[in-house]
């Protein structure tokens, strides 16, 4: 594994511009990794995007609104790829069923991420991992600027949503983040509040009524100094998990049952991930086998899904058990 700086990163991307490159990301792809992938795709003419399983419903909705075709995202790694770029993930384990393909890939693998350093022990892996960026979309935007790649109105909007979503609506922003958001809002021809409204999506009165009912029915408990809210969502567990944090919870966990599958969404109020050394992405990945499924995400926002719906309560119990272990340390 080779660690590189930003100058080397832009050089590698520029010198491989004509190669057949496959861009992929972690399991349950969120807005940050999706916007990062499309940002690189904008510069790399022979690139393609693939996902190991699914992308979040919010990512799909934002893509559709901005005219980015979800059908361009494949569910498998391009077998003819000369190079693979991983965005918003710094290990193979979090790439779900792509793990084996990545481990056996002989070509160059480039990792672009903003989390803790990678520990992959492979000679063909090159890593840019800089925690001074709040999101991978922030890194990709700097790459596009450095390479003087045109960022049109819709791509600027998409990259801005990636940066904003991964910074908890700028609560975890760095000075560079505000500079980038200002530039992107100008390119996207939209103001910040309007972009937030588009990101959140105003649901129908019926759906909003359902959200409120679910919140009122949710379980509320205090563990240590943390307020936790959890329960069932009739629709959009991720939306309810977000709302749980917005109304004052420190931790939120909601699930939905649909088509013989249970889907969990968990959220943690920043910076409690650093205070208690909690990584929801790792936690959901660890617990996913309980429902015979997949899990992953980020320290403060993660999900898991699987077919074993009868183990829903067991999953919640284990989530709370692991959470308590971190709090007590």
pLDDT recorded at residue 198: 84
Asked if pLDDT for residue 49 goes beyond 70, the answer is: yes
For the ranges 50-59, 176-185, 192-201, 279-288, the one whose mean pLDDT is highest: 176-185
pLDDT recorded at residue 200: 75
pLDDT recorded at residue 34: 97
2-198 is a CATH 3.90.1640.10 domain: yes
pLDDT recorded at residue 323: 95
pLDDT recorded at residue 202: 65
Please tell me whether the overall predicted TM-score, pTM, comes out greater than 0.85 for this model.
Answer: no
Asked if pLDDT for residue 250 goes beyond 70, the answer is: yes
Instruction: Give the tens place of pLDDT for each residue, 194-231.
Output: 999 888 766 778 888 888 899 999 999 999 889 999 99
Asked if pLDDT for residue 297 goes beyond 80, the answer is: no
For the ranges 70-74, 186-190, 237-241, the one whose mean pLDDT is highest: 186-190
Which has the higher per-residue pLDDT, 299 or 314?
A: 314
Average pLDDT, the chain: 93
pLDDT recorded at residue 230: 97
Instruction: Give the tens place of pLDDT for each residue, 69-82.
Output: 999 999 999 999 99
CATH topology of domain 205-328: Diaminopimelate Epimerase; Chain A, domain 1 (3.10.310)
Domains of the chain, by residue range, sit at 2-198, 205-328
Taking residues 123-127, report their average pLDDT.
Answer: 96
pLDDT recorded at residue 201: 67
**Reduced 3-state DSSP string for the chain:** CEECCHHHHHHHHHHCCCCCEEEEECCCECHHHHHHHHHHHHHCCCEEEECCCCECHHHHHHHHHHCCCHHHEECCCCCCCCEEEEECCCCCHHHHHHHHHHHHCCCEEEEEECCCCCCCCCCCEEEEECCCCCCHHHHHHHHHHHCCCCCCHHHHHHHHHHHHHHCCCCCCCCHHHHHHHHHHHHHHCCCHHHHHHHHHCCCCHHHHHHHHHHHHHCEEEEECCEEEEEEECCCCHHHHHHHHHHCCCCEEEEEEEECCEEEEEEEECCCHHHHCCCCHHHHHHHHHHHHCCEEEECCCEEEEEECCHHHHHHHHHHHHHHHHHHHHC
Asked if pLDDT for residue 166 goes beyond 90, the answer is: no
Asked if pLDDT for residue 116 goes beyond 80, the answer is: no
Instruction: Please report, rounded to a whole number, the percentage of residues in the chain having pLDDT higher than 70.
Output: 99
Instruction: Give the tens place of pLDDT for each residue, 6-28.
Output: 999 999 999 999 999 999 999 88
pLDDT recorded at residue 173: 86
């Amino acid at each position: 594994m080779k660690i590189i700086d930003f100058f080397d990163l832009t050089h590698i991307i520029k010198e491989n511009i004509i190669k057949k490159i496959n861009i992929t990301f972690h399991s349950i792809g969120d807005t940050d990794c999706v916007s990062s992938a499309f940002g690189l795709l904008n510069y790399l003419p022979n690139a393609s995007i693939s996902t190991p399983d699914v992308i979040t419903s919010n990512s799909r909705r934002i893509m559709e609104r901005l005219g980015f075709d979800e059908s361009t995202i494949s569910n498998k790694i391009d077998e003819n790829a000369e190079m693979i770029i991983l965005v918003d993930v710094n290990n193979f384990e979090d790439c779900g069923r792509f793990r084996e393909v990545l481990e056996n890939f002989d070509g160059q693998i480039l990792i672009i991420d903003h989390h803790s350093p990678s520990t992959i022990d492979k000679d063909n892996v090159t890593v840019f991992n800089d925690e001074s960026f709040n999101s991978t979309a922030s890194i990709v935007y700097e790459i596009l600027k450095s390479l003087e790649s045109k960022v049109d109105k819709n791509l600027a909007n998409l990259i801005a949503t990636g940066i904003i979503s991964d910074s908890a609506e700028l609560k975890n922003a760095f000075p560079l983040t505000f500079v980038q958001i200002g530039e992107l809002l100008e390119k996207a021809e939209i103001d910040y509040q309007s972009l937030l409204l588009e990101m959140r999506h105003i649901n129908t009165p019926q759906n909003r009524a359902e959200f409120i009912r679910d919140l009122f029915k949710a379980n509320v408990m205090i563990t240590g100094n943390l307020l936790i809210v959890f329960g069932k969502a009739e629709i959009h567990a991720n939306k309810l998990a977000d709302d749980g944090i917005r109304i004052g919870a420190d931790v939120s966990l909601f699930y939905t049952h649909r088509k013989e599958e249970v889907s969990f969404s968990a959220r943690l109020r920043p910076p409690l991930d650093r205070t208690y050394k909690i990584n929801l992405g790792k936690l959901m990945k660890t617990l996913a086998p309980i429902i015979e499924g997949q899990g992953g995400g980020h320290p403060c926002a993660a999900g898991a899904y699987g077919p074993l719906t009868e183990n829903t309560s067991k999953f919640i119990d284990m989530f709370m058990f692991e959470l308590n272990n971190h709090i007590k340390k």
